[in-house]
């Protein structure tokens, strides 16, 4: 099977910086003694994160037994304001791996809120980045996952709303949300530019690739919002799209659909997917012979995580 791989597939700047920081802190904690604790996964890639936890890094969303000699690493998605304040107050030593673009989004939201605005945020309510962004916007902020949810939420014509998005959201959906809100309120509503270029570039390339390929495979953590969005982008473009972390995640039905769609198959990956993980899936797909039986996907080892499949 011929594979067309998106040039943008793989690590973005924010993920690279966070992993460099994690490596540095891990080396230092080896010299210094004391534990290195990350507040939740530093990036959304369970395979890569398990490599670090197996070598001694502790991953805990809410550690209750912090010791003076511990070092706490803040994840690339950032953490809510009150959690950061509590950490600082506890006196524990902190290393911050929050992506600079997430910090920029938080700061823009904080300023608009301080000026009296009420936030309407496009994002996944339970995503750590969204919890962080909301903490800069006060209790009146509203979150919506998609246009349907936005349309179902009441808007007060007297309120000064402003719109923003989680950094990994689709720019096209956000633009529609801005237009929709303006139509409902019969006036322009300020919109902050908080969507990350790395995300838009990956989505754009997947859309373009879908015009050429027969099906699309997206590689990345099942808990990674930007990876899920890439698979959704491909499905919206009308091709069969499947999201995997590794070759063993393909079901026989996935392989049958890819094979019957024909060659070439498109390949992209989320911003937190290492090149080795993408290569492994590419090698597997390249071994598929569309005229004969395809290679059996290796049996998956037991692990946590849920697969998202987009089928059109």
Per CB under 6 A, residues contacting ligand SF4 are 12-15, 76, 99, 101-102, 167-168, 196, 198-199, 226, 271
Task: Assess whether 232 carries a catalytic annotation.
Answer: no
Ramachandran assignment for 193, one of left (phi > 0), alpha (psi -120 to 50 degrees), beta (any other): beta
> Using CA atoms, how far apart are residues 123 and 140, in angstroms rounded to an integer?
16
Instruction: Report the residue number whose CB is nearest to ligand SF4.
Output: 14
Is residue 162 within 8 A of residue 120, CB to CB? The reply is yes
Nearest approach in angstroms of CB 19 to ligand SF4 is 11
> Using CA atoms, how far apart are residues 217 and 278, in angstroms rounded to an integer?
10
Nearest approach in angstroms of CB 232 to ligand SF4 is 16
Q: Which sign does the torsion angle of CA 193, 199, 205, 211 carry?
A: negative
Cβ proximity to ligand SF4, 226 vs 273, nearer residue? 226
Cβ proximity to ligand SF4, 48 vs 285, nearer residue? 48
Cβ proximity to ligand SF4, 9 vs 76, nearer residue? 76
Cβ proximity to ligand SF4, 12 vs 133, nearer residue? 12
Peptide bond into 264 cis (omega under 30): yes
Secondary structure in 3-state letters for 225-280 = HHHHHHHHHHHHCCCEEEEECCHHHCCHHHHHHHHHHCCCEEEEECCCCCHHHHHH
Nearest approach in angstroms of CB 205 to ligand SF4 is 14
Cβ proximity to ligand SF4, 197 vs 286, nearer residue? 197
Cβ proximity to ligand SF4, 121 vs 198, nearer residue? 198
> Using CA atoms, how far apart are residues 27 and 10, in angstroms rounded to an integer?
25
Nearest approach in angstroms of CB 194 to ligand SF4 is 9
Nearest approach in angstroms of CB 303 to ligand SF4 is 24
> Using CA atoms, how far apart are residues 98 and 74, in angstroms rounded to an integer?
6
Instruction: Count the neighbouring beta carbons within 10 Å of the beta carbon of residue 24.
Output: 13
Nearest approach in angstroms of CB 222 to ligand SF4 is 17
Of the residues 129, 205, 232, 236, which is catalytic? 129
Which residues are within 8 A (CB) of 242 and not within 5 positions of it... i.e. 6 or more apart?
215, 216, 217, 218, 231, 250, 254, 257, 258, 309, 310, 311
Cβ proximity to ligand SF4, 247 vs 274, nearer residue? 274
Nearest approach in angstroms of CB 28 to ligand SF4 is 23
Strand blocks (E) in the chain: 3-5, 36-38, 58-59, 71-74, 93-96, 118-122, 142-144, 161-165, 215-219, 240-244, 265-269, 309-310
> Using CA atoms, how far apart are residues 85 and 272, in angstroms rounded to an integer?
27
Reduced to 3 states (helix: H, G, I; strand: E, B; else coil), residue 75 is coil
Task: Give catalytic residue positions.
Answer: 129
């Amino acid at each position: 099977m011929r594979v067309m791989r998106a040039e943008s597939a793989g690590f973005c700047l924010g993920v690279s910086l966070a992993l460099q920081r994690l490596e540095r802190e891990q080396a230092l904690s080896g010299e210094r003694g004391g534990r290195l604790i990350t507040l939740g996964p530093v990036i959304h890639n369970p395979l890569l994160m398990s490599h670090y936890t197996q070598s001694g890094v502790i991953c805990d969303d809410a550690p209750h037994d912090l010791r003076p000699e511990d070092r706490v690493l803040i994840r690339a998605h950032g953490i809510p304001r009150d959690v950061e304040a509590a950490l600082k107050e506890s006196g524990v030593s902190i290393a911050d791996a929050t992506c600079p673009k997430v910090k920029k989004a938080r700061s823009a939201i904080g300023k608009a809120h301080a000026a009296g605005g009420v936030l309407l945020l496009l994002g996944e309510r339970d995503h750590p980045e969204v919890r962080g962004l909301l903490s800069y916007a006060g209790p009146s902020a509203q979150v919506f996952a998609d246009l349907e949810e936005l349309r179902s939420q009441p808007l007060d014509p007297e309120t000064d709303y402003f719109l923003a998005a989680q950094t990994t959201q689709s720019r096209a959906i956000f633009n529609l949300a801005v237009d929709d809100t303006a139509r409902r309120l019969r006036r322009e509503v300020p919109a902050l530019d908080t969507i990350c270029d790395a995300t838009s570039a990956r989505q754009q390339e997947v859309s373009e690739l879908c015009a050429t390929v027969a099906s699309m495979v997206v590689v990345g953590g099942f808990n990674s919002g930007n990876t899920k969005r890439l698979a959704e982008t491909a499905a919206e473009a009308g091709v069969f799209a499947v999201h995997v972390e590794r070759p063993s995640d393909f079901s026989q039905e996935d392989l049958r659909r890819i094979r019957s769609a024909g060659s070439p198959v498109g390949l992209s990956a989320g911003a937190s997917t290492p090149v080795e993980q993408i290569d492994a899936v590419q090698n597997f797909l390249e071994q598929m012979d569309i005229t004969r039986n395809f290679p059996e996907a290796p049996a998956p080892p037991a692990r946590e995580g849920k697969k998202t499949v987009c089928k059109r």
